[in-house]
Amino acid sequence: QESSIEISRERLYITASKGSRFELLIKQWEKAGLVSRWPNSVVGVLRKHSSEEATDNTVTADSASRSKSKFQAFDDRVVRYIGTSGYEPLCESLATQCTRVVRPQWVGEMLPMNTEEGRKWRLSKGPGRDPLGFYDFVVISHNGKCAARLAETAKWKNGQNAASKVSSSLQCAFGIRSLEELQKQRRLILSSIWVLMFVTSEPIDVDWEGAHISSSIISWASNVTAKRAQGNKNREREQTTLLGHTQHATIRSRQ
């Protein structure tokens, strides 16, 4: 029997700086029904506490752990957007707006070129290898060593880097590090974490949908079903995703 449960590895939420071009773009997505606003009342931080510390805007996680944790909803007035029915519809919509979609396609070099139409990026599979054409924009979708190496090729003929800010922001390293080590780093550290996704036959009795967790084991918890339902309480079963912490991955790797 085919399962109706989808594996969710989607990003937590999207934010944008006030007045930025990206904010204008997100509002276009919102108008098209591709993203929606996640109410701050249901997303926040879950911290350890004693029952005496509860306040008016605090919701206990559940009756069994009433003396162990509390949920603090965000009150920072930041607008958080989530994909409507996940982020796949948004990605598919962006793909349909392209003249041509080629995947997979390795890009190993990007060179700035001044043309009659303005500055363009000439892409190729690598230095001196098959050209892939000229483009107005190059979007790097995720950090990593390959992305950093690609940005390093973005140089003018005099050797000056044409994308120095992008190149510096892509500096990263791989490996499991402790919290203390991560706080000392001036670059992004990509490390493995444990992810647990499970389904319950009945709704979980909590009043929040997503929470950053103050813990050395779990960093994030989200009721994916409730998050996508946008207030619809008529749910027969619920899917929850837990993201582990890098510190926990360090402990597990040493065992």
- What is the Cα–Cα distance from 79 to 203, expressed in whole angstroms? 26
User: Over 38-90, what HEC string results?
Assistant: CCHHHEEEEEECCHHHCCCCEEECCHHHCCCEEEEECCCCCCCEEECCCCHHH
* Residue 144 or residue 54, greater confidence: 144
Residue 36, pLDDT > 70, answer: yes
32: confidence class by pLDDT, cuts 50, 70, 90 = very high
Q: Which domain holds residue 154?
A: 102-170
User: What confidence score (pLDDT) does residue 97 get?
Assistant: 82
In the structure, how many helices (H) and strands (E) does the chain have? 7, 14
The per-residue pLDDT for range 190-223, each reduced to its tens digit, is 777 788 889 888 888 888 999 999 887 888 999 8
- What is the Cα–Cα distance from 73 to 209, expressed in whole angstroms? 10
Same domain for 34 and 73: yes
Same domain for 209 and 150: no
Same domain for 199 and 163: no
Same domain for 205 and 89: yes
User: What confidence score (pLDDT) does residue 123 get?
Assistant: 95
Residue at which a domain ends, from 170, 202, 217: 170
Lowest mean pLDDT among 8-12, 120-124, 197-201, 215-219: 8-12
Mean pLDDT of 20-34: 93
Whole-prediction pTM? 0.66
CB atoms inside a 10 Å sphere around CB 161 = 16
User: What confidence score (pLDDT) does residue 51 get?
Assistant: 47
Phi, psi angles (nearest 5°) of residue 253? -70, -20
